Amino acid sequence: MQAEWIVGINPVEAALAEGAARVRELWLEHDAHNPRLLALAQQAQQLGIAVQTRPRAALERIAAGARHQGIAAHCVAAPVLDETALPELIAAAGHNTLLLVLDGVTDPHNLGACLRSAAAAGAQAVIVPRDRAAALSPVVRRAAAGGAEHVPLLQVTNLARSLRGMKEAGVWLVGLDGADDVVQTLYALDLRGPLALVLGAEGEGMRRLTREACDHLARIPMIGAMQSLNVSVATGIALFEALRQRGAGAKS
């Protein structure tokens, strides 16, 4: 079985809560005094997971550039899902289907931030192409702050074909695009019902086939000097506009 390292307080906390059976060992930095670290170590021990102390350099080595915050979990790697998982996810969610499609997002911090927003919005999956896109890594998991443990990332071989499959399953595709020919705003669309929000790569936007597959194209209106948004910011705006329209999370 393949193994992976999950680093950082929130990602490790989520791993222990959502997939403790996959966790084989916990590493704690020598002389750690952070109460959250000590609580996670105690939780791991109660679950029968070995806890080892390691020097900071050892944690930095396995963190591969991510902020480890003094903690890392050695886990059996979760299976990588692909397009074959989509029909079951859509059928299970039914009318409440909410998917996020990212066409060629290569920055791991952006992917992590999008996973975090998708998890917070209750999306069933984040879908990315297998090629020319960021994949799960310690940096992505750290940026997702535990979101990667709550929402699956699907890597699909042919994104255009997967989009067609979503449409055939009754999912409406709404693409966010800042091009001059897109005049409809996100807020003018009905985002209720089975929905996939589609966003393109940093700077380049959606590829032609992805754009053409969308049922609607919309822009996020901007009145300031800046006329573009980071993909993770745009993702958050779109997901939570869909959530607002669905009346989800309202408190009486």
How far apart, in whole angstroms, are the C-alpha atoms of residue 23 and residue 7? 12
Q: Bridge-partner residues for 103, per DSSP?
A: 200
Contact 153, 123 (CB under 8 A): no
Among candidate residues 12, 4, 15, 48, the one with its CA nearest the CA of residue 32: 12
Phi, psi of 101 (to 5 degrees): -115, 125
Helix residue ranges per DSSP H, 94-156:
108-121, 138-144
Contact 123, 144 (CB under 8 A): no
Annotated binding site: 200, 220, 229
Annotated binding site for S-adenosyl-L-methionine: 200, 220, 229
